Amino acid sequence: MKKNISIVFFLIFSFFLFAKDFQKESYDIRNNRTNYLTSQSISQMWKNSEWTDSLKYEYSHNIQNNLRQVLTSYKIENTWVDSFKTTYFYDENENILEYVVEKNVNSAWENYYKYSYFYENNLIDLCVYSLWYENDWLAISQGTYSFDGNDNIIEEFWQYWADPETLIDWTINTFTYDSENLLLTNDQQLWSSDNWIDSYRYDYSYYEFGKMEENTYQEYDGDWINIYRYVYEYDDNENLEKIIYYLWSENWYENLYSEYVYDVNLNILEEIWKYDINSITYNYSKNLNEYIEESEKSDLAKTHEINISISNPNFENCTISFNSKIDRRISIDIYNLKGQKVKSFGEFPSSKTSQINWNLKNEDNQKVSSGIYFLSIKNRDSVEVKKFTIMK
C-alpha cells in the first residue's frame, strides 16, 4: 500500500511539473516534439492470444494547445462505458488553475475530486485537494511549495485537515537539480510521532543530449531498499526506442520492456510492453495513440476572457465588477484559503459588464473572518481566479 501511495503522489507531482510545457509546446507522451496533439489513446491487454481493449482516453484541447478535457472509458462486453471525466482550467499565463474529476454514476456525471492551484509571481504557491461531499467541495489536504533561483520546485510540503480548524503535517518532498535544471532526486519524508521519517526516493540520470537515462525508486525500512528502476534507450535521432523495467531481488532482474512504432511525423502510434521467459517473448500490454494537427483542433473559447476588478475589500463590503468578451453564462463564487466555498452568487449573463456588492457574509449569513480569499468566475470553458485580502 505504501508503495502504491508513493507512486500516485509522484505521478501527481510529475504531472504538475511538466504538464504546462508538455501541452503548450506540443510534445507527445515520450517528450518528442510534435506539431500534433493526442486525440485518443487506447490501452490493451494481451489475453487468450489476442489484444483486448481495456481503457480508452479521449483528449480535447483549447485554442492555446493546452489539455482541456480527458474522458476515460473502459470496455465491457464490446461496449465502451464512460467512467471518469477530467476538466482543466487555466489562468492568463496558461498555468493550471484547477482540474476537476467527475465520475459516471448511473449514466450521469457527478463531481468526485479536484486539485486547485494558486500562484504568486507565476509560481505555484498553494495546492488544495478537495473531495465532493454532501453537494459541496470538502478540502482534505493542501500543499505549499518552495523554489530555487531557477524557478525549480525544491520543496513540496503537504498537510491535511484533522478538523475544519486543524492542519496536521503529512509529507515533505525535496528535489535537487543539475546545472541544466534537470531533476536529479526526489526524496519524501513522512511525519510520524513528532518526527520526520524517510519514506522513499527517486534518483534520475540523463544522457548528454538531455533525455532521461535511468529512473530508480527506493523505499526506506531502516535502510534504503531498491524496488524498481526504468532504463531508457533512444535511437540516433534521439527518439525513444525502448524502456526496460527492472525489479530488485538481491539483484536487478528485467521484468518488462517496451517498444515503439512511430508515424512519419515521429508521433508514437504504438507503445508495446513485452517480457521474456526462457528466450520466448510474450506480449503484455499495448497503448495505441491517435493525433490531430493543430489546425484541426476545436475552436474553444480562450481562457482569461473575463476581466475582474475588486474594490473596497474592507470589513464592511466588497464590490466585484466583471465583464467578458464571450456570450456565455458564468458562475461566481468565493473560496477561502482551504479551497472551501464561502459564498456563491449563482449564475449571470456575461455579455456585458456587471457588478456585485458583497456584504462579506457567508452562506450561513455570518461575517467572514479577515484573511486571504479567492474570487472564482467560471464559464463552460474557462475559470478566472483572483486573490484578495479582507482586513478588519
pLDDT given at position 100 = 94
Residue of higher predicted confidence among 103 and 66: 103
pLDDT given at position 30 = 38
Mean pLDDT value across residues 201-230 = 96
Domain assignment present for residue 59? The answer is yes
**Claim to verify: residue 214 and residue 354 sit in the same structural domain:** no
Mean pLDDT value across residues 190-199 = 94
Into how many domains does the chain fold?
Answer: 2
Domain boundary among 266, 296, 326: 296
Instruction: Return all residues near 359 (Cβ < 8 A) that are at least 6 apart.
Output: 316, 317
User: Domain holding 324: CATH number?
Assistant: 2.60.40.3080
**Claim to verify: residue 285 and residue 329 sit in the same structural domain:** no
**Claim to verify: residue 113 and residue 248 sit in the same structural domain:** yes
**Claim to verify: residue 10 and residue 118 sit in the same structural domain:** yes
CB 40 within 8 A of CB 56: yes
Domain boundary among 254, 278, 296: 296
**Claim to verify: residue 291 and residue 335 sit in the same structural domain:** no
Domain boundary among 296, 321, 349: 296
Structural domain boundaries, residue 164? 2-296
Q: Is 177 helix (H, G, I), strand (E, B) or coil?
A: strand
Residue 84 and residue 158: Cα distance in Å, rounded?
26
Kindly state the percentage of the chain with pLDDT values over 90: 53
Domain assignment present for residue 239? The answer is yes
**Claim to verify: residue 231 and residue 375 sit in the same structural domain:** no
**Is this prediction's pTM over 0.85?**
no
End-to-end alpha carbon distance in the chain: 47
The region of weakest confidence among 34-38, 111-115, 228-232, 370-374 is: 34-38
pLDDT given at position 381 = 58
Domain assignment present for residue 364? The answer is yes
Is the model's pLDDT at 294 over the cut of 80?
no
- Quick one: the chain helix, strand, coil %, rounded to 5? 5, 65, 30
pLDDT given at position 382 = 63
Is the model's pLDDT at 175 over the cut of 70?
yes
Residue 303 and residue 298: Cα distance in Å, rounded?
14
Residue of higher predicted confidence among 378 and 67: 67
Is the model's pLDDT at 130 over the cut of 50?
yes
Mean pLDDT value across residues 216-221 = 97
Name the pLDDT band for 370 (thresholds 50, 70, 90): confident
Mean pLDDT value across residues 356-385 = 80
| Secondary structure (DSSP) of 3-62 | HHHHHHHHHHHHHHHHHHHHHHTTB-TTS-B-SEEEEEEEEEEEETTEEEEEEEEEEEE-
pLDDT given at position 387 = 77
**Claim to verify: residue 148 and residue 241 sit in the same structural domain:** yes
To 5 degrees, how large is the angle CA 382–CA 384–CA 390? 160
**Claim to verify: residue 259 and residue 327 sit in the same structural domain:** no
Residue 323 and residue 329: Cα distance in Å, rounded?
11
Domain assignment present for residue 301? The answer is no
What does the pLDDT look like over 295-349, one tens digit per residue? Answer: 444 443 343 344 556 666 666 778 877 766 556 677 888 888 767 788 888 777 6
**Claim to verify: residue 259 and residue 341 sit in the same structural domain:** no
What does the pLDDT look like over 78-91, one tens digit per residue? Answer: 899 999 999 998 88
pLDDT given at position 33 = 39
CB 135 within 8 A of CB 338: no
CB 70 within 8 A of CB 55: no
pLDDT given at position 308 = 58
Domain assignment present for residue 216? The answer is yes
**Claim to verify: residue 245 and residue 328 sit in the same structural domain:** no
**Claim to verify: residue 25 and residue 90 sit in the same structural domain:** yes
**Claim to verify: residue 222 and residue 288 sit in the same structural domain:** yes
Domain assignment present for residue 353? The answer is yes
Domain assignment present for residue 377? The answer is yes
pLDDT given at position 298 = 44
Is the model's pLDDT at 283 over the cut of 50?
yes
What does the pLDDT look like over 46-64, one tens digit per residue? Answer: 999 999 999 999 998 877 7
pLDDT given at position 324 = 61
Mean of the per-residue pLDDT values for the chain?
83
pLDDT given at position 228 = 97
Domain assignment present for residue 238? The answer is yes
The region of weakest confidence among 108-117, 204-213, 316-325 is: 316-325
CB 361 within 8 A of CB 343: yes
pLDDT given at position 328 = 64
User: Domain holding 28: CATH number?
Assistant: 2.40.128.720
